[in-house]
Structure 1
Amino acid sequence: MRTRSRPRAALAAALTAALALGAAGCLAVDEPDPDVSPSARGNALAMLGQLTVAGAGSMKGYSRERFPHWRDTGTNCDVRDTVLKRDGKNIKLSGCNVVAGRWESAYDGRVFTDPSDVDIDHVVPLANAWRSGADEWDDAKRGDFANDTTRPQLIAVSASSNRAKGDQDPSQWKPANRSYWCQYAENWVTVKHHWRLTVTSAEKATLTDMLEGCTWASKP
């Protein structure tokens, strides 16, 4: 038995009604997640896959002085002031020197208003960089690394969290603030990838786990 097709006018009316309901939120409409950046999706995992896996190198010859920091950025101010200004709110300056503000440490959620209570952390610690390839650089390049404000290598955090971290990689230490793990892992990989530093097998496995647990991450 042949069924009668719905008149075109009825179909158009039904489509119009469906679209109206979707706009009102009554129908499920496929929309891209506004919290997910398609360009960033899987990028950190892809970069991690490109890093060379190697055992940790020797600490022979290491000292923080081999990574000259903080570089001057003006009269009585330096890269530390640059990061304090970038990461803080309600910043007060004396010239270009940061003298007050408000900082929330991403590692542990603690809040500070005195810049002397805030440390500037090297996301990839200087000693870790030394063990993963920076021992072969000259001091000028190590200085570029130690003062890198272009990559996510420098961040204002609580002194206690910075010192608890020391020179450990993510397989040995992670921020107490678990909600920051995705960003921390992404930052770590971004820095190591740019500077062509190696990772240990344990470091890579931990970073993989951290990144695969992120809502925006997907395997390349």
Structure 2
Amino acid sequence: MAVTTALALLFAANAAFAAPVDPALVRRGNLPTPIAASTARSYLSQLTVEAESNSPAYDRDLFNHWITISGSCNARETVLKRDGTNVQQDSACAATSGNWYSDYDGETFTVSSELDIDHMVPLKEAWVSGAKDWTDARREQFANDLTRPQLIAVSASSNRGKGDQDPAEWLPEREAYHCTYVRAWVQVKYYYDLSVDSLEKAALSDILSGC
């Protein structure tokens, strides 16, 4: 009986060891973890609620993005390295190989050109929510923020589908990521003292209530 039990335990251990691991659990290196849902709910209650304003008109060039972070690596290349596994880069810091998982749609990639670096809170969304009144330096910080969960490598198709929409208009295809997504969204808006419109706040509140 003891031998049978030992063999059963060994088989179970081997099976567990051999079981595939969800890439969503192992792909990340130093990706900033969003605030807890309870904190996000508190932060959301403190955000100013007002209609968006695009006057003066948004211009992407007013956000100096993909600045140099270290050596020859800019912000985009830094995020590709951070968000992938087994990422190899050439002397110019371009990713030549690696593995990436797109949180928005659950797709996996081995070619970096199939990925975009998404601004969690899009640049235009920031502009119409208060960034139009910022200094150039503040907009540059926002566009290249590696400290908060503002930059993330995702499939190009999901990023372009999102565009500059807020959570009342667009959410990731992967419902399992919705809670993380809105926690990150609120954290970024709170840190940068950006406003939310009424529909945006309602959508955020609804998702956070289930987190």
How does the TM-score come out when normalised to structure 1?
0.77
| Distance in structure 2 (CA, Å) of the matches to 1:169 and 1:152 | 16
Give 1:93 shift. 1.7
Does the 8 A contact of 1:106 with 1:180 survive in 2?
yes
The correspondence for 1:70, drawn from 46, 66, 71, is: 66
- The structure having more radius of gyration, on CA atoms, is 1
Query: Is 1:194 the equivalent of 2:209?
Result: no
How does the TM-score come out when normalised to structure 2?
0.80
Instruction: Among all aligned residue pairs of Structure 1 and Structure 2, give the percentage whose two residues are the same amino acid.
Output: 52
Aligned-partner SS, 1:42 = helix
Query: Is 1:108 the equivalent of 2:105?
Result: yes
Query: Is 1:206 the equivalent of 2:203?
Result: yes
Query: Is 1:80 the equivalent of 2:76?
Result: yes
| Distance in structure 2 (CA, Å) of the matches to 1:77 and 1:116 | 16
| Distance in structure 1 (CA, Å) of the matches to 2:37 and 2:141 | 28
Specify the code of the residue in structure 2 equivalent to 1:126. Answer: L
Segments of 5+ residues of structure 1 without an aligned counterpart are 1-38, 215-220
The correspondence for 1:149, drawn from 146, 150, 161, is: 146
* Distance change >3 Å, CA 41–CA 146, structure 1 → 2: closer
| Distance in structure 2 (CA, Å) of the matches to 1:110 and 1:58 | 34
Question: Counterpart in 2 of 1:174?
Answer: 171
After superposition, give the CA deviation of every residue in 1:101-140 in whole Å (9 maximum; x if it has no partner).
Answer: 1111000011111111110000000000000000001211
Does the 8 A contact of 2:87 with 2:98 survive in 1?
yes
Q: Which runs of 4+ in 1 moved over 4 A?
A: none
Aligned 1:8-27 pairs, distance under 5 A:
none
Give 1:75 shift. 4.2
Specify the code of the residue in structure 1 equivalent to 2:46. Answer: Q
Question: Counterpart in 2 of 1:51?
Answer: 47
Question: Counterpart in 2 of 1:131?
Answer: 128
**Number of residues paired by the alignment?**
176
Segments of 5+ residues of structure 2 without an aligned counterpart are 1-34
Give 1:40 shift. 3.0
Give 1:187 shift. 0.3
After superposition, give the CA deviation of every residue in 1:129-156 in whole Å (9 maximum; x if it has no partner).
Answer: 0000000012111010000010100000
Give 1:41 shift. 5.1
Aligned-partner SS, 2:200 = helix
